[in-house]
Amino acid sequence: MKENPTDKDIRKDMMPGRIIADGYLGNDERSLEQIVNEDLSVLSSLGVTKEQLAAKMQHITDKALEGFGDPVDVDSRYTAQVLEFMGFLGCPYKDGKRLAKRNTYVADNETGETMIWSDMNIHLIKNHGFFEGKGAQYRLDPRRLVSFLQLEQETE
């Protein structure tokens, strides 16, 4: 699929060394539109919206922030810890949004499964439906994320 000039410009900023060292696309050669559409169709098949997903991630991050770097219990299900760094990152979609350099490390207390997301991940999912390209350092697989956040059960 051909990319329009805006997508090309956004894609340029998603390359390694533009905003973050490894970039946002990994080794994914699909167009941005394809990446977003395919991930959103997975979400849709699971009956979950990107807004629901982002809201749950934000909820966990907000709770973890209260720990100032220490692990925090979230909803008696997860243990979450936030690591925050100085500075901000601009959204590659050039929407004027700047995000704190903040990572949330989450462990599911029951399954032992762990996931990491950044504030940028939450913003990109909520506002642009972008889970990052395959192979990217911060790529989040929508199916795995839905299952980790137990959203499938909630929508049934």
Partner 1 sequence: MQEVLQTIGSVTGISLVLALIITLADKWLNDYGEVTVDINKGERKFKTEGGQMLLNALAAQKIFIPSACGGKATCGLCKVQVTDGAGPLLPTEAPYLTAKEQETHYRLSCQVKLKNDMAILIPEELFNIKEFIGTVEQLDNLTHDIKLLRIKLPEGETIKFKAGQFVQLYTKPYGKIKETVFRAYSIASPPSDNTHVDLIIRLVPGGIATGYVHEALKVGDEIRISGPYGDFFLRGDEGINELVMIAGGSGLAPIRSLLYDIAEKGLDYRIRFYFGAVAKRDLYAEEEMAKLEAEYPNFKFVPALSSPAAEDEWDGDTGRITEVVDRYVENADGKEAYLCGSPGMLDACIKVLHSKGFKDDAIFYDKF
Closest by CA to 22, choosing from 133, 124, 143, 96, is: 133
Residues 6+ apart with CB under 8 A from 108: 77, 78, 114, 148
Nearer to partner 1, 48 or 124 (CB): 124
Stretch that binds partner 1, among 29-37, 40-48, 85-93, 148-156 (CB under 8 A): 85-93
Residue 62 binds to partner 1 (criterion: CB under 8 A): no
Q: Which of 30, 59, 63, 101 binds partner 1 (CB under 8 A)?
A: 101
Report how far residue 2's alpha carbon sits from residue 95's, in angstroms, rounded to the nearest whole number.
22
**Per rule CB under 8 A, count of chain residues that contact partner 1:** 34
Interface stretch with partner 1, choices 39-47, 79-87, 122-130, 144-152 (CB under 8 A) = 79-87
Q: How far is Cα 84 from Cα 71, in angstroms, rounded to an integer? A: 13
Q: Residue 27 or residue 76: which is nearer to partner 1 going by CB?
A: 27
